[in-house]
A and B are shown apart, each in its own frame.
Chain A
């Protein structure tokens, strides 16, 4: 028994070290930085270890009038992007679930947005939707679909006339959410397809004989069978999108109503050279995400 315990210790030890160095230490270090007046210049030198703790950074961050709207933007971006990527993934998985020639090729193609380098795809999309140089706007204007080009990534609001009702749409935010949905649907697609293939055909046959139409078979068999994978996917996508920085930064630089909190972290650190405030925003992100996870797990546990 003693020997087994020792073996278990040595087997777990490397993992423990990795978690300590790459997970626990950065969180504590970030908390430490957020509680001190640290500027970019202070990152080298002995002053980092001084015990001059203060809540000044948090006071500054919470006093920032952009924090509330930034959090709201982050939530809209996260929920919209996660939901859209899962929805697209579900549709794609259903599309290539059956047997048809070229299925393998199509499945492979569906993965490509996920594996292409982010810099490449953001630049590609930026060029496609660019109001002056972009092929999309050019085509739409040329064919008479649009009176003038739409600056998808640089205009905050877009007034739309829907059957006489004027609707104000956050254009740039919607654009980056669409990008997020496009880029990450393959992730959801792979998970959903795998689960979809594991559902026995006989369940569908039984439901057909029981009198269920195709739509009801989807609603009563497929969806419940996918519920676990869908909720797990939403959890993953929520966490990752909430912390997402590169995609949105490369597309819009956080301009035109797309300033999520991760870009705020960047702005404080490299715009104002205020590492302390930057760390404080990161801690706010961490806190909000933790609250979300607690609620989510409570809800999931209750469901089961």
Chain B
């Protein structure tokens, strides 16, 4: 075929069939040309008059060719005080509306947005406006423009008092024209009107885009704040940050299931709690320690508050006389944390609340400490039937949270003196009544976030308790042995970073506060 055609092109011999075909194609081409003519002509016309040449376009791939001495303003810096100045801004094209001779678009930079206006003029040609409206959303662009104050506040942008009047626009990195989700849709509060929202799985599958929403930007900034405030407070209190191994030889703690990994020729496990190492560090004369690190739980529970990998904020502390010394430190740590978030992250909190409305987090200072018994009594008064030594079921936990909220108006409280029967073997029993134990749980918005206790630091007693719980002593020999060389009385606890962030913000799912969540059904991205 190609041979024939080549011949035809040479004009030497053309078969009938090919001739017909050629004719047809020519007709088609003519038609096409005719159809396109007005466009072409127009383009041709303007080509001649394109006064904006060199003011827009796509930048070549940045291979660090040259280092411009050009100041890029941050969107957040664009204030009415800069009025009249010409500035360069780099950001993402958030949205774009073009209408014939004018075009408005919004540049987004993290949580800040500013409106840019382009109107056809001597320096701004129609082609340039056409080019702008052709730039795909989420592309990174460089824009040069003049800062102008506006008469009416621009409600849709964070920089409400100013807008940019465009002079140049260059695409630094173009986004695909078809996005798996629109940032606008992903930013919409759920259940509001009939406009599209994005479901959780789509979000998590395209987390890179999803994380660009204002709410997500704020959530993870706040989460960083939780971590920082935890570190700052404890460091100031004389705690030492330690790092514990995540690959361990045996399950350190009963109960939670562990992930098994191949470790050369043997098996190893992923740490499901840094507890053993925290305790060993305390016994190793560090006195007060904390650690921030990943924790793995092989629990096949698909709930709104379980992840298989999460960040644990754990602390352990030797005390002098009474484990309430530790309880008070932890309680105070939380108050400090909540206060810090309230003061330093007010904007983030309000941004998250715009998309996910929630009541502001309320707490008491000092933290409210109730006995488990009192909690059970409150539940009974509300008509719940439960035994003294029964563990709190999830619905009861929630109800208790509501009751305490109604009475004390606090979203955070501590339950002390849990029944010994529902706690792990290393929990120190109450000195007067063996029914109770020196252990405590902390709750935010009616959900447990911390579970802790005074630990048994006497190896003989510990062995006894372990046997009672049916633990195989040889498996936890290392744990017990660590208390054989003099161990101070100590207590501690651990919280999940994601859970605390979720409950502080009043979010409904822990996957919203994990950057790339891991649950039984999700291992990617």
**A and B associate in one complex:** no
Could you tell me which A residues sit within 8 Å of B by CB distance?
A: none
